[in-house]
Amino acid sequence: MSLFLKNKKKPAILFFLIFFHLILISIQVPLGYEKNYFEKAIFSIFSPVQHGITFFFQKIGNLWDSYFYLWEVQRQNKQWKEEIFLLRQENMVLKKSLNKLENSENIQEFISTIHNSFLIAQVIGVDARNINRSINIDKGSLDGLEKDMIVLDKKGNLVGRIIEPISLKEARVQLITDNNSGVSVISEKTKARGVLAGDGKGNCFLKYIIATEQVDRGEELLTSGFDRIFPSEIKVGTIVSVKPNVSLFQDIKVKPHFEFSHLDLVVVISGDSGISFFKGK
């Protein structure tokens, strides 16, 4: 009897582990895309580790850049000085234009609100299974991050939105290239409305554009704001191909504006004032 139990012990443990996984998979069925506590707990434990590793290697990189790689600094300084000069000019012109519409106190208040609504975050990790689905950033609930806040790249192009799990100092961003993502968009020229979904390979598809509707290759896509998650008029991507389909809708491929390989810093739009800034454009 004891020999029998000894022989069956290993397969029994394997079956127990398989059963445990099947339970984990099954409990997600009623939850849908909501994350279970077990997943949230693992993310909360390991995301600070990821944060720490990124911080460590960044510090080493900074050490190299600060003390050994100085030949690049002069060129960069010159470039940034020019850029700051142009931005100051632009800022001045914009302030003058605003002054015509509002008094200066209101403008200062508006600008400070906008500054507080933009939260700069660093990318600390990519999706462990498919890099085009999600990224992890170094800001979390302690920084005021909440589910569905929108994320832009340095140039103001749409990257995605904050999803769960959100830990104290880390959060996950669902990219617009994820095939479960959906963004309500409108084409800039022909004003065709559709839903942008990712293909999981770094590009997107524009869905639900009927065959008779006119959309052109090279046309810009902007968020429409109809989904009530993404505010309107944020740049999303460019239509790269339009093909007729046997179904009612066209096959439209879209190249997103954000470049995944240059995605080291992102901007999270937090709060209503940040969103109203876009709506007020």
In the complex, the residues that contact another protein under the rule CB under 8 A are: 10, 13-14, 17-18, 20-22, 24-25, 28, 35-36, 38-39, 42-43, 46, 49-50, 53-54, 57, 124-134, 136, 165, 172, 174, 178-180, 199-201, 260-261
Burial profile 84-119: b = 16 or more Cβ within 10 angstroms, e = fewer: eeeeeeeeeeeeeeeeeeeeeeeeeebeeeeeebeb
The 3-class SS string of 119-175 reads EEEEEEEECCCCCCCEEEECCCHHHCCCCCCEEECCCCCEEEEEEEEECCCCEEEEE
The count of C-alpha atoms lying within 13 angstroms of the C-alpha of 45, restricted to the half-sphere facing its C-beta, is 6
Give the 3-state secondary structure of residue 40: helix
Least distance between another protein and beta carbon 148 (Å): 15
Q: Is the bond preceding residue 165 a cis peptide, omega within 30 degrees?
A: yes
Report, in Å, the least distance between residue 201 CB and another protein. Answer: 6
Comparison of 14 and 211: residue with beta carbon closer to another protein: 14
Minimal distance, residue 131 CB to another protein, in Å: 5
Task: Report in angstroms how near the CB of residue 44 gets to another protein at its nearest.
Answer: 9
Residue 39 or 220: the one with the smaller Cβ distance to another protein is 39
Say whether 200 sits in a helix, a strand or coil.
coil
Q: How far is the CB of 58 from another protein (least distance, A)?
A: 8
Between 110 and 205, name the residue whose CB sits nearer to another protein.
Answer: 205
**Closest CB to another protein among 21 and 281?**
21
How many other C-beta atoms are found inside a 10 Å radius of the C-beta of residue 128?
A: 9
Instruction: Round to whole Å and give the CA distance between 233 and 244.
Output: 27
Stated as kind and residue range, the H or E segment containing 254 is strand 251-256
Q: Which is nearer to another protein, 117 or 174 (CB)?
A: 174
User: Could you tell me the smallest distance in angstroms from the CB atom of residue 13 to another protein?
Assistant: 5
Nearer to another protein, 201 or 279 (CB): 201
